[in-house]
């Protein structure tokens, strides 16, 4: 990790927890890591909890975001949530293109691009997720897939807007499976992604851009993953539902960046 990029550890709670459990988890994180200053911290609760958790963590150093966004503002889109609504609920950022949105709900590259534009238009920062399936990796298509996803999503994003985006490389085969990309595999993809950004934008933009790794990140593997010079933090799934585990991950990041 470069010295000029501040690590970010983001917890994706997915479709988990009751409201009381979500509040208890937020309180646990606030007490354990709410004042860490060497890293940035973020969580994405389920939609119904965003407003409550955002109020609970007001004034803390833990950003609250959402797990998805609809491209429109208002209208007959039952079950969807817009950037206007997320902003009014207290969200400051949103995940876009998470592999579960792509592969479970069918979000195409074009849809992901529209969602990213909506997030930026509503002054929400974004964590743009990219990554390949196991078949694509085994077929030698990892870089082609990631570059295609980047090209579509960032086609209408200028360099100023890019500063509000964090990338997250999450190999689909490593999400919720217990299988993790090796540190070398993660670093290789992160390096290629950063080189693509440099070619598309500039060396300065590439040097400033944070690229997270996501995929079965745990306290016992975060140190090895973070050793890669192009790995700037983690998008954490299951371990983020445990205040003690997520705190250990973030605390390592704080020590490692000191």
Residues in the chain: 258
User: Which run of H or of E encompasses 214?
Assistant: strand 211-214
What is the full DSSP assignment across 4-42? TS--EEEEE--S---HHHHHHHHHHHHHHHTT--SSEEE
Return mean pLDDT, the chain: 95
| pLDDT given at position 180 | 77
Q: Residue 256 — very low, low, confident or very high, per pLDDT cuts 50/70/90?
A: low
- What residues are labeled active site? 98, 170
The full set of domain ranges for the chain reads: 8-256
Question: Does the predicted model carry a pTM greater than 0.85?
Answer: yes
Over the stretch 199-254, which tens digit does the pLDDT of each residue have?
A: 999 999 999 999 999 998 999 999 999 999 999 999 999 999 999 999 999 998 66
Angle (CA) 218 133 116, round 5°: 85
Neighbours of 203 (CB within 10 A): 11
CATH number for the domain running over 8-256: 3.20.20.70
Q: Per-residue pLDDT averaged across 109-119, rounded?
A: 98
Integer Cα distance of 83 and 184 in angstroms: 36
The answer to whether 214 and 175 are in contact (CB under 8 A) is yes
Residues in Cβ contact with 145 at an 8 Å cutoff, skipping those fewer than 6 apart: 130, 131, 132, 133, 136
Residues in Cβ contact with 16 at an 8 Å cutoff, skipping those fewer than 6 apart: 46, 241
Query: Which stretches within the chain are classed as H helix?
Result: 19-33, 50-56, 83-89, 99-103, 109-121, 134-138, 142-153, 159-162, 183-200, 203-208, 222-226, 243-256
Q: Which of 180, 174, 171, 167 is nearest to 231 (CA)?
A: 167
Over the stretch 28-65, which tens digit does the pLDDT of each residue have?
A: 999 999 888 899 999 999 999 999 999 999 999 999 99
Q: Is the pLDDT of residue 257 over 70?
A: no
């Amino acid at each position: 990790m470069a010295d000029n990029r501040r690590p970010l550890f983001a917890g994706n709670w997915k479709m988990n927890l009751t409201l009381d459990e979500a509040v208890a988890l937020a309180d646990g994180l606030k007490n354990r890591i709410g004042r860490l200053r060497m890293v940035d911290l973020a969580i994405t609760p389920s939609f119904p909890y965003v407003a409550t958790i955002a109020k609970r963590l007001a004034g803390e150093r833990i950003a609250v975001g959402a797990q998805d966004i609809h491209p429109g503002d208002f209208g007959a889109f039952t079950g969807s949530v817009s950037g206007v609504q997320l902003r009014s609920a207290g969200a400051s950022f949103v995940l876009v293109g998470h592999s579960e949105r792509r592969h479970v709900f069918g979000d195409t590259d074009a849809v992901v691009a529209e969602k990213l534009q909506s997030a930026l238009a509503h002054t929400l920062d974004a964590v743009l997720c990219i990554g390949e399936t196991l078949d694509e990796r085994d077929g030698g298509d990892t870089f082609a897939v990631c570059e295609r996803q980047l090209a579509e999503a960032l086609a209408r994003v200028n360099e100023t807007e890019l500063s509000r985006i964090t990338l997250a490389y999450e190999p689909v085969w490593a999400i919720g499976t217990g299988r993790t990309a090796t540190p070398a595999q993660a670093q290789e993809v992160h390096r290629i992604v950063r080189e693509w950004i440099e070619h598309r934008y500039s060396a300065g933009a590439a040097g400033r851009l944070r690229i997270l790794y996501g995929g079965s990140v745990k306290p016992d593997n975060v140190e090895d993953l973070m050793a890669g010079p192009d790995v700037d933090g983690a998008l954490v799934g299951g371990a983020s539902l445990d205040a003690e585990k997520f705190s250990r991950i973030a605390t390592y990041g704080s020590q490692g960046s000191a």
